[in-house]
Amino acid sequence: MKSTTIERKREHLEICLHDKVEMERGAGFEHYRFLHEALPEIAPEDVELRTSFLGRELALPFIISSMTGGVERGLAINRHLAGAAKTLGIAMAVGSQRVALRHPEAAKSFAVVREVAPDIPVYANLGATQLNRGYSVLELGRAIDMIEADGLFLHLNPLQESIQERGNTDYRNLSERIGEVTGGLDRPVLVKEVGAGISPRTARLLADQGVAAIDVSGAGGTSWSKIEALRAEDAERRELGLAFADWGIPTAQSLVLCRAELPQLPLIASGGIRDGITAAKALALGADLVGLALPLLGAADQSQAAVEQVLKRFARELRLAMFLVGARDLEELRRGHHLVAELP
């Protein structure tokens, strides 16, 4: 009999590849416009896209966000993603590794990332609620060692787990558990949502517990409530998932609020970023990196070259946007007051 976890991962992957899983609402970036500079006083080749994140150098300010692993199709997808990340010099996070901790034969679909890309920053991933279900530094260390990771993402997904049958919804005292592991691991612990956003209150709680970075992963992109509704076998659960399909803090709003609350903490913006212009807006609003998932998934199901094509398009659009506002580098983009907010 197939593992329920493995079967769920397979269903998630198939739904994301073949169904409409994005929210109806935008990610909030549509309410911002760049101030075009007709005299940018630079040339496009002057624009520098290199950056650093948690002590690692990156050629582009992108991270491939957590997507998959644990199933055969996920192995090929992760191989293509990792190959593109290596070629372009960006970071990558893997999907939740709990399945591989329970079923060691599934580990190869995660380990392939480090095999293909030995030099890029790679981040492990586990659900934070597992800390309330017996997981300790030992299990987290096993996930890190599985892919020789540079750090570990703990993901928060109370909405998805509430819609998912037999979901893990025990969030009691979870910030304290997170604090315990940040001090017990020798790698940085990062925390991310999965599409509903991080509030300033949650960001402060996490920062006080010693997390190294936060991915706000806001609303406006993939709706995991909708995905779970599509998986649901009973009508009530399906109805509940669809009712909350657009729930969450839009990515732009979450980013702005968290940056105001935590001026120095590294932040990743993901959720609804579908082109390089939107990526430029996220960086201008204070993101250190931009996370990409669904825009790469279909390409990753095809080939490494297809993933590279998408990422290069994002980079071209980002570079041109920076040229057109006269920003030589990412620091100038963030500090140059290049965005104007428009009332919705």
Cα 261 from Cα 72, distance rounded (Å): 42
The closest of 287, 339, 252, 332 to 42, measured between CA atoms, is: 332
Rounded Cα–Cα distance for residues 103 and 18 (Å): 27
Structure tokens at 175: 């910030």
Which pLDDT does position 342 carry in this prediction?
Answer: 86
For residue 278, the model assigns a pLDDT of 98
Task: Name the H helices within 169-275.
Answer: 174-182, 200-208, 224-231, 235-243, 251-261
Residue 160 lies in a domain: yes
Whether 295 maps to a domain, the answer reads: yes
How many domains, in total, are found in the chain? 1
CATH of the domain at 177: 3.20.20.70
Position 337 in a domain: no
Provide the residue range defining the domain that includes 81: 4-34+53-314
In this structure, is residue 40 part of a structural domain? no
Q: How far apart are CA 295 and CA 314, in angstroms?
A: 10
Q: What residues in the chain have per-residue pLDDT under 50?
A: 1-2
- Spell out the residues 6+ positions from residue 183 whose beta carbon is closer than 8 angstroms to its own: 210
Q: Is 158 exposed, middle or buried (0-12, 13-18, 19+ CB in 10 A)?
A: middle
Q: What is the pLDDT of residue 2?
A: 42
Q: How many CB atoms lie within 10 A of CB 126?
A: 22
Mention every residue, 6+ apart, whose C-beta is less than 8 A from residue 171: 129, 132, 158
Tokens of 294: 């669904």
pTM value surpassing 0.75: yes
pLDDT for 5 equals 84
Residue 212 included in any domain: yes
Is 105 part of any domain? yes
Which letter does DSSP use for residue 285 in this model?
T
Token pair listed for 344: 């919705």
pLDDT of residue 4: 82
| Domain assignment of residue 42, yes or no | no
Beta partners for 111? none
